[in-house]
Structure 1
Amino acid sequence: MPVRLRLAALAATAAAVLIAPTAPTGAVGAVHVEDTPFPPLTPAVAAELDAAIQRTLRETRVPGVVVGLWAPGKGSYVKTFGVADKATSAPMKTDLNFRIGSETKTFTVTALLQLVDQHKLSLDDPIGKYVSGVPNGDRITLRELAGMRSGLYNYSEDPDFDKALLAGQVFTPQQLLDYSFKHGVQFAPDAKFDYSNTNLILLGLVIEKVTGRSIQQVVNDDVVKPAGLRRTLFPTGAEYPDPHPQGYTEVSDKIVNATDWNPSWAWAAGAVISDLQDLRSWAKTLATGTLLTPATQAERLKTKPIGEIPGAGYGLGVFDVQGWIGHNGSLPGYESLTVYLPEEQATMVVLLNTDALVDGQEPSTLFGEAITDIVTPDHVYPGHKVTAPRPS
């Protein structure tokens, strides 16, 4: 199958971006919530989760999974299943670093929104103000890019891009845009929702132009640090800090090791690396808007229906599915899901070392569904039949 980023369960892959080293006016510094003691779930509920996750592991044929759940009034559950390395049978562990794919988008758009708070740009600015040569660039706004409503073709669905990725090419942002722009526009701005990594490459370029710094510097210094994240990184190349699991993807119906594939092809749409406890903290920071002013956070959470997923909407670089706010990620070798449920102040993080679909479904979504069906039955994170092309 072609190598493509897909709409992983609701969206896919993630990135990081921001500007000033301090939080914007009106925002409060984040607290790393891993430092807060948390009682465990009752043995009965934990046993039920064990059984559900083990069953899902067998059904999805995922090598290994890390699961974290924290729900006030119910308790916490942090556990690993399966292996981090199929060759050595090394077990999955809770302290491993993971490539988090499209969860990167939550960092990138947070960076953009901080610039809004600093009055350095407006969400209603046309992208043509910052980047030349964009089809419909005088009409497509930054808001429409962040909300996946631009109408720009997704470069990661281009057949020539597939071939270059499999050949090991290292991409520049402009090369990624070239794959998109040769297709022109798919529909008028804001006409509908259409998940496209092209949107986030453009927003990354906007952030670099406005700040005068690289996207890596902006994300690492102005988003990651103020959020109190200790093991989250927007890499400059293919580096992947130890310890980390091996990641497995599917190419032409064969499973291959994609651990060291260079994430340049995902850049501001999907290159960030993180771990369980940092993502636990980030989930609440993202959903509650700690790094933004209340007004800007309110703009971020104005979701519009995704359409094909009941009870799901997409805001600005974030989704709301049955009350769970956050994002998922998928790139060759890895999948992730990080969400926060404000109604119950609950957090769920799922990390996998494969992105191979199961009967057209994202394995991360199947784990999320199995977990929430037990712990938050009024807010079940739904499974979804994927129709968008997948990376393999």
Structure 2
Amino acid sequence: MPPSSERLYRGAMVAVLAGTLCAPLTAAAPPAALPGAVAAGSPSPSVPGPDVRPLSPAVARQLDTAVQRVMHEAHVPGVTVGIWTPGQGSYVRSFGVADKADGRPMAPDLFMRIGSETKTFTVTALLQLVAQGKAGLDDPIGRYVEGVPNGDEITLRQLAGMRSGLFNYSDDDAFFKALTSDPRRPFTPRELLDYAFKHPVQFPPGERFSYSNTNLILLGLVVEKQSGQHLGDYIEQHVLDPAGMKDTLLPQGSAFPVPHAQGYTDQTADGKTAATAGWNPSWGWAAGAMISTLDDLHTWAPTVATGRFPDGSRMVSPALQKERLITPATPIPGAGYGLGIFDVQGWIGHNGSLPGYESLTIYLPETKTSLVVLLNTDIDHDREEPSTLFGRAITQIVSPRHVFDLPAQPAAR
């Protein structure tokens, strides 16, 4: 996840990794299809027991208690959790309220903003175009977008893997002021890039990992240029429709289907908590503006981790999926990041966070277990993101050999 104003747009490996933007990760193929991913987050062999515990009534009661404890401690208004393991049952629960104003309960069917999980869809679109010969992972970004610092050296692969060295626009002071002074204003991709490009590059391309939303804005422009379609239209036609994900979209402006939860954030001009459902997420665009539901993210978790649609057809070619799941180490122990996807202690996927909402969509290939968490606040608790608190508490119970943990970096603001 990201640091500082990144709180505004936390992405996947928050904190220590580098920086981030919207809170931002996600039928089944055999574990052999995931060689690269499994390597980065291998669990400690000292923890005994099965990879995943069956979701029995007793385990469900433990989960109820753990989720409600995190809610109480972190002051989370509402949360929905889904866990599914083939042959071992499922767990789907909502707790708390979707809207504090009217007390409407949280529910599994609500639309939610998913932040940086958007990155998994944008990179999927890119990989499909690479398979079609319309782009190359080792092409320089300067071939597709003009005016990029080091554009003749930074490759599409380095952008997707967060190793470009480009400054993260959501960490720019002027951007933060512009967004928080008028959260309903629209931003264009070029405006976002202008905030980033006024800063010097942070390091030579490929030198190290640094989470930057700027990378995904550039990849979104590549998808549009090489496909001839708007990014949202391409993703809908070539990713969402084949996956049967009818309740997922990249919205136009502040559009938000109903029913949806109200979101709550303290990332405001005056630092006071505000409701955010009407805020315009265009500033996240290809890096974090998408909307989805629990059921659709249940579909997405194994789809993005295996590269196969639910009907068994290929979403991403085997060779490119293998490359995607090569997850080099990051500064966070047990966490690796590949091409728009992470591996945290064996869990493959992404998280997301933008003002008012957080999400987590991950998949454990050994047992084909999917975990989705959706909540309506991004306010940190003891310098940790609530989505990570839920992910840790849940996996300590259901997968003690694979405990999800992404320590967040203290916000600068």
* Structure 1 residues without counterparts, runs of 5 or longer: 17-39
Secondary structure in 2 matching 1:297: helix
Say whether 1:132 aligns with 2:184: no
Using the TM superposition, give the Cα deviation of residue 9 of structure 1 relative to its aligned residue in structure 2, in angstroms: 5.2
The match for 1:294 is 318
Say whether 1:219 aligns with 2:235: yes
Say whether 1:278 aligns with 2:296: yes
Cα contact 2:125–2:239 (8 A) shared by 1: yes
Secondary structure in 1 matching 2:273: strand
CA distance in structure 1 between the aligned counterparts of 2:21 and 2:343, rounded to whole angstroms:
14
Letter in 2 for 1:13: C
Say whether 1:105 aligns with 2:114: no
The one of 369, 391, 397 aligned to 1:346: 369
Secondary structure in 1 matching 2:358: strand
Secondary structure in 2 matching 1:254: coil
Letter in 2 for 1:188: P
What's the Cα RMSD here? 1.7
The one of 60, 74, 80 aligned to 1:66: 80
CA distance in structure 1 between the aligned counterparts of 2:408 and 2:187, rounded to whole angstroms:
30
Deviation string 1:108-156 (CA, Å, 9 cap, x unpaired) is 0000000111111100000000001000000000000000000000000
Secondary structure in 1 matching 2:349: strand
Q: Which has the higher helix share?
A: 2
The match for 1:263 is 281
The match for 1:177 is 193
Comparing 191-200 with 229-238, greater Cα deviation is found at 229-238
Using the TM superposition, give the Cα deviation of residue 237 of structure 1 relative to its aligned residue in structure 2, in angstroms: 1.6
Deviation string 1:158-191 (CA, Å, 9 cap, x unpaired) is 0100111112231110000000000020100011
CA distance in structure 2 between the aligned counterparts of 1:333 and 1:340, rounded to whole angstroms:
24
Cα contact 1:111–1:219 (8 A) shared by 2: yes
Q: Number of residues paired by the alignment?
A: 366
* Structure 2 residues without counterparts, runs of 5 or longer: 15-19, 26-53, 309-314
CA distance in structure 2 between the aligned counterparts of 1:220 and 1:88, rounded to whole angstroms:
33
CA distance in structure 1 between the aligned counterparts of 2:238 and 2:92, rounded to whole angstroms:
29
Deviation string 1:305-340 (CA, Å, 9 cap, x unpaired) is 121x21100000000001100000000110000000
The match for 1:240 is 256
The match for 2:386 is 363
Letter in 2 for 1:161: F
Letter in 1 for 2:293: D
Cα contact 1:197–1:269 (8 A) shared by 2: yes
Using the TM superposition, give the Cα deviation of residue 7 of structure 1 relative to its aligned residue in structure 2, in angstroms: 4.2
Secondary structure in 1 matching 2:405: coil
The match for 2:244 is 228
Using the TM superposition, give the Cα deviation of residue 254 of structure 1 relative to its aligned residue in structure 2, in angstroms: 1.6
Deviation string 1:289-316 (CA, Å, 9 cap, x unpaired) is 1101110000100111121x21100000
Percent sequence identity is 61
Secondary structure in 1 matching 2:82: strand
Consecutive aligned runs of 4 or more in structure 1 exceeding 6 Å deviation: none
Residues 388/137 of structure 1: CA separation in 2 closer, same or farther (3 Å cut): farther
CA distance in structure 1 between the aligned counterparts of 2:338 and 2:62, rounded to whole angstroms:
33
Cα contact 2:80–2:375 (8 A) shared by 1: yes
Cα contact 1:341–1:347 (8 A) shared by 2: yes
Secondary structure in 2 matching 1:102: helix
The match for 2:9 is 5
The match for 2:34 is none
Say whether 1:198 aligns with 2:207: no
CA distance in structure 2 between the aligned counterparts of 1:389 and 1:146, rounded to whole angstroms:
25
Secondary structure in 2 matching 1:225: helix
The match for 1:380 is 403
Using the TM superposition, give the Cα deviation of residue 85 of structure 1 relative to its aligned residue in structure 2, in angstroms: 0.3
Give the structure-2-normalised TM-score.
0.86
The match for 2:340 is 317
Using the TM superposition, give the Cα deviation of residue 253 of structure 1 relative to its aligned residue in structure 2, in angstroms: 3.4
The match for 1:86 is 100
Using the TM superposition, give the Cα deviation of residue 80 of structure 1 relative to its aligned residue in structure 2, in angstroms: 0.5
Deviation string 1:67-111 (CA, Å, 9 cap, x unpaired) is 000123432100001000001111100100001000000000000
Deviation string 1:211-266 (CA, Å, 9 cap, x unpaired) is 11111111111111111111011112210000000000003432111111111100
The match for 1:148 is 162
CA distance in structure 1 between the aligned counterparts of 2:67 and 2:23, rounded to whole angstroms:
24
Give the structure-1-normalised TM-score.
0.90
Secondary structure in 1 matching 2:80: strand
Secondary structure in 1 matching 2:8: coil
The match for 1:48 is 62
Using the TM superposition, give the Cα deviation of residue 372 of structure 1 relative to its aligned residue in structure 2, in angstroms: 0.4
The match for 2:205 is 189
